[in-house]
Amino acid sequence: MATALIILAAGMGTRMNSELPKVLHAIAGAPMLIHAMKSGASLDPERTVIVAGHGATAVGKVAQDWDDRAEVVLQAEQLGTGHGVAQASGALSDFSGDAFVLYGDTPFIRPETLTAMSAARQFHDVVVLGFDAADPGRYGRLVTSGEVLERIVEFKDASDEERAITLCNSGVVAADSATLFDLVAAIKNDNAAGEYYLTDIIEIARSRGLSATVVRCDESETMGINSRAELAVAEGAFQTARRAEALADGVTLQAPETVYFAHDTVIGRDSIIEPNVVFGPDVTVESGATIRAFSHLEGCHVSRGSVVGPYARLRPGAELAENVKIGNFVEVKNAQIAEGAKVNHLSYIGDATIGAGSNIGAGTITCNYDGVSKHHTVIGARVFVGSNTMLVAPVTLGDDSMTASGSVITRDVPAEALALSRAPQEIKLGLAKRMFEKLKSKKAKATKGA
C-alpha cells in the first residue's frame, strides 16, 4: 500500500518569542521538522506534503534540502488542524493510498509506532495515535469501546466521566487518502474558536458507518514543543535516550551526562568517549576510536583506532584514517589524514591531504586562504614537519621530506629533501641591557610627569 505524509508545519509559535518559524527550532542539531520527516520516512512514503504558513519559504527550503521530493503547500490562515490537512488535498489529488498526518512540532514519534498504525489500517478505516497520560490535563480524551474508537472529546466539552479517561489524543491520524479528505471536507467550524478541528473526523466517520481505532504509544513520543522551555526539555529527553542507546550498543561514555549527540551521530562499539564531548551533525566514529575530553566534532569521519583530543576540533570534511592521532588544540577542516599520521599539538590543518605515517609538529599551519580563494596543501607519506612551520598553499611536500622548525614554506619540497626557510639570526652583545635601561627611564619620566 502506497503511503503519503502530511506534516502540519504552519504554526507561528508565538510562545517561542522568535522570528524563526517554530518547526525550524533545532533539537540535536536538526530542526524539529526534520525529526518529524525522519520518523515518517520509516514508512517509505511515496509522497510527502509539508503544510507551511508562517515563514513558509524558510520551512520549505529546509524540508526540500532534506528531501527534494517533498511538496510544500501554503496554509495562509491558520484555521485549525482540519483546515491544515485540507490544504494538502490538491497536492494529493492524484494519490491513491494511505495518508498519515504528522506534526512538525512533535519530533519524537517512533518509526515502530507508525508501523503499528499502518498495520492497524488493514482492519480499520481511521487510526488515531493515543497515549495514556500521567496527567491528562486539558488533552482531548479518546472514548473507546473495546478496540473501537467512538469519538474524541475536547476537555472543555467533556463530562466528568469523560475527563476521568486517561487515554488522550496525540493528533496523529492515518486513513485512506480519499477517505481522509472526504471526512475533512465535512468538518464544521461552529465552535468558539471558529476553527476546523481534525478530531471531528472520528464522529463523522462513525456516523457514516466507518470504523476507527486507537494505537497506543508512550507519552514521551507525543511531546509537542511550543516554548523555549519545552524545547530545552525535549533536547534533554533526546540526549538522555541517545546516551542510553550508545551505552547499550557497547560505547563507553565516561561521563554520559556531559556528552551531547546530534540527531545522526554514529559511534561504533568499543569506542571511548571522554567527558564534555559535543557531536555536531554528520559525524561517524568507527569502532575502537577514542574521543578525548572537551572535543567538538561535526561533519567528519573518524576511523578505527584513531584518537582525537583532548580539546580538538574536527570540522566538516575532516577524514581520519585508522590509527590517526589528533591532539590538544588541533583544528582539522576539509582534510584527509592517512593511516598512522599524527597532528599532536596546537596546529591548524585545513584544505589538506596528509600521507600515511607523517608527523606534523606543534604550531603548524596550512595557510590555505589568500583572502579570496582557498588553496590545497599536499603532505606526502612519512613527512616530518618541524614545529612552527607555515605551509603557504598551494604547496606540496614529497614523501620522506622534512621541514625545519620555524620555516615558512612557499615552494614545493621534493621527496627526501629538507626545506629550511629562516631569516639569519644576529647577536647584538649588550643591546638587551641598554634597551631595558632606556625603556625603564622613559617609563619613569612619563610617570613623574603624570
Buried (b) or exposed (e) across 29-43, using 16+ Cβ within 10 A?
bbbbbbbbbbbbbeb
What single-letter amino acid sits at 259?
V
**Is 364 in contact with 350 (CB distance < 8 Å)?**
no
What the block records as the C-alpha cell of 26 is: 533545532
In this structure, the dihedral spanned by the alpha carbons of residues 430, 433, 436 and 439, taken in order and rounded to 10 degrees, is: -60
From residue 150, give the alpha-carbon distance in Å to each of 147, 158, 212: 9, 14, 7
**How far apart are alpha carbons 271 and 291 in whole angstroms?**
8
In this structure, the dihedral spanned by the alpha carbons of residues 287, 293, 298 and 302, taken in order and rounded to 10 degrees, is: -30
Structure letter (DSSP) for residue 157: G
Angle at alpha carbon of residue 419, lines to 418 and 425, rounded to 5°: 115
**Is 152 in contact with 142 (CB distance < 8 Å)?**
yes
Q: List Cβ neighbours of 388 (8 Å cut-off, separation of 6 or more).
A: 361, 362, 363, 364, 405, 406
Q: Tell me the catalytic residues.
A: 345
Q: List Cβ neighbours of 55 (8 Å cut-off, separation of 6 or more).
A: 20, 21, 24
Nearest in space to 91 (alpha carbons), one of 73, 110, 69, 111: 73
**How far apart are alpha carbons 101 and 89 in whole angstroms?**
12
Backbone angles phi, psi at 12, to 5 degrees: -75, -30
SS (H, E, C) 320-336: ECCCCEEEECCEEEEEE
What the block records as the C-alpha cell of 265 is: 551521530
Nearest in space to 332 (alpha carbons), one of 358, 309, 355: 309
**How far apart are alpha carbons 146 and 108 in whole angstroms?**
27
What the block records as the C-alpha cell of 398 is: 614529497
Angle at alpha carbon of residue 403, lines to 402 and 407, rounded to 5°: 175
**How far apart are alpha carbons 41 and 318 in whole angstroms?**
28
User: Maximum CA pair distance of the chain?
Assistant: 105
